[in-house]
Amino acid sequence: MTHLAPPPPDRYAAVVRANLTTPWPYHLVHLAGSPDDVRTPVELYPAFHTSFDWHSCVHMHWLGVEVLAAGHEDDALRALLSANLTPERVAGEVAYLRAHPAFERPYGWAWAARLAASCAAAAAAGDPAAAAWAEATAPLARTVLDLVVPWVARTEHPVRHGVHSNTAFGLALLLTAADDLGHDDVADALRTHARRLYGADRGWPAAWERSGHDFLSPGLAEADLMARVLPPAELAPWFAAFLPRPGDLTAPARVVDPTDGHAVHLDGLNLSRAGALFRLARALDDPGLRDAGDRLLAAGLTSLANDDFVATHWLASFAWDAATSR
C-alpha cells in the first residue's frame, strides 16, 4: 500500500512554536463568580493561555515535548516550553483545577496527564530540560489523577459523543499516563471502572457514526480503551462481539468548508480513527485494521495543509499521535 509520508519533525515544531506564541483568539471557558472574577486567559491559566483554548495549549506543549524527544533540536521551541513549564506557572494551573474540579473533564485532564508522562519519559531518556518540565508537571498529573477516580466511580453512564466529553477517549489517555507515571493505584481503579462501564457492550451501531462535528469515533475510542484494559485472550472475543464490522468505521471523512471550526473536526476524526486502528491492529494482530488505518492517516495528513487557525491549533497533535502509533 502507498503511504503519504508524515511531515518532518521541523514542521511539527513550527506549528507548536506558532501556537505557543498566539494568545488570541482564545476560547475562554470560565465560570465567573462575580464581576471581579472576569479575567484574561493569562491571569487564569499562567501556563496554558495560548493555542485557542486550554486543552489545545496543553497538547501543543505535549507535541513539543514529543518532537524534541524524537531527536529534533529546536532551541526556540525548547525555550518556549521552559518558559511555561515552570513550578510557579503550573502551580497556578493546579490551583485552578482544584478550585474548579469539573474544568476540562475528562479531555483536558487526559492531555495534562499525558503531557506530564511525556516530560517524565524525556527526562528518563537524559534530557536535563525535560527533567525540569517533569518536576513542574508532576503535581498537574497528580491533580487530575486525584480527580478522575472519584469522578469515574460516580459515573453510571459513559458519554459516547465523538467530541471532548467522550468518556472512553479520556480514560484511555489517563490510564496510560497513570501506568507510565507509576500511579498503579489509579491505573488499577481505571481498569476496574472501564470493565464496569464497557465490558458488557455488544453490537456497536457503527452505521450511526459519524456525526457532523465528530473528531473521535465513539466506537473505536471505546475499543482503544479496552485494548489497554483487557488481556489479549479477552480482548479478541470482546472486540469481535462489540464491533463485528470494523470496516464500517474506516471510510475517510471529507471536510467541505476548511474554515469552519466544527466541520474541521472531521479531519481530526480521520486522524484519531487511524491512531486507534493502528493500536488495535497491534493488540489484535490484525493487518486489515492496519491497512484501514493507513488509508485514514493518508486522508488525515492532507489536512495539515490547511493554515486556518481552526485547524492549526490542534490537528498536528492528532497527526503526530496517529503517525507514531503506526
3-state secondary structure of 286: coil
Query: Where is 50: in which H helix or E strand?
Result: none
For all residues of the chain together, what is the average pLDDT?
A: 97
Residue 98 falls within a domain, yes or no? yes
On whether both 252 and 266 belong to a single domain, the answer is: yes
On whether both 89 and 206 belong to a single domain, the answer is: no
Return the ∠ at Cα 109 (arms to 72 and 213), rounded to 5°: 85
Average pLDDT over residues 250-264: 97
Which pLDDT tens digit goes with each residue over 43-61? Answer: 999 999 999 999 999 999 9
On whether both 191 and 233 belong to a single domain, the answer is: no
Residue 137 falls within a domain, yes or no? yes
On whether both 175 and 208 belong to a single domain, the answer is: no
In terms of residue numbers, what domain contains 145? 1-28+40-198
Give the per-residue pLDDT at 166: 98
Residue 35 falls within a domain, yes or no? no
Return the ∠ at Cα 301 (arms to 137 and 254), rounded to 5°: 115
Give the per-residue pLDDT at 5: 73
Kindly compute the dihedral angle of the four CA atoms of residues 234, 236, 237, 241, in this order, to the nearest 10 degrees: 130
Query: Where is 206: in which H helix or E strand?
Result: none
Cα–Cα distance between 14 and 304 in angstroms, integer?
12
On whether both 165 and 296 belong to a single domain, the answer is: no
Give the per-residue pLDDT at 6: 77
On whether both 142 and 191 belong to a single domain, the answer is: yes
Cell, residue 307? 493554515
Which pLDDT tens digit goes with each residue over 179-237? Answer: 999 999 999 999 999 999 999 999 999 999 999 999 999 999 999 999 999 999 999 99
Cell, residue 139? 503535581
The rounded percent of the chain whose pLDDT value lies above 70 is 99
Cα–Cα distance between 190 and 182 in angstroms, integer?
14
pLDDT band of residue 2 (cuts 50, 70, 90) is: very low
Domain-terminating residue out of 176, 198, 220: 198
Which pLDDT tens digit goes with each residue over 141-193? Answer: 999 999 999 999 999 999 999 999 999 999 999 999 999 999 999 999 999 99
Cα–Cα distance between 273 and 218 in angstroms, integer?
10
On whether both 123 and 77 belong to a single domain, the answer is: yes
The rounded percent of the chain whose pLDDT value lies above 90 is 98
On whether both 283 and 180 belong to a single domain, the answer is: no
Cell, residue 243? 464491533
On whether both 189 and 292 belong to a single domain, the answer is: no
Average pLDDT over residues 84-89: 98
Label residue 104 left, alpha or beta by phi (over 0 means left) and psi (-120 to 50 means alpha): left
Tracing cell 519519559 back to the chain, one arrives at: 121
Residue 231 falls within a domain, yes or no? yes
On whether both 190 and 205 belong to a single domain, the answer is: no
Whether the per-residue pLDDT at 4 is higher than 80: the answer is no
On whether both 140 and 236 belong to a single domain, the answer is: no
Give the per-residue pLDDT at 3: 62
Cut 0.75: pTM above it: yes
Residue 33 falls within a domain, yes or no? no
Average pLDDT over residues 19-36: 96
Closest CA to 80 of 70, 67, 92: 67
Domain-terminating residue out of 158, 178, 198: 198
Residue 263 falls within a domain, yes or no? yes
Give the per-residue pLDDT at 153: 98
Domain-terminating residue out of 198, 214, 249: 198
DSSP string computed for 92-116: HHHHHHHHSTTTTTTHHHHHHHHHH
Average pLDDT over residues 79-98: 98
Which pLDDT tens digit goes with each residue over 5-21? Answer: 778 999 999 999 999 99
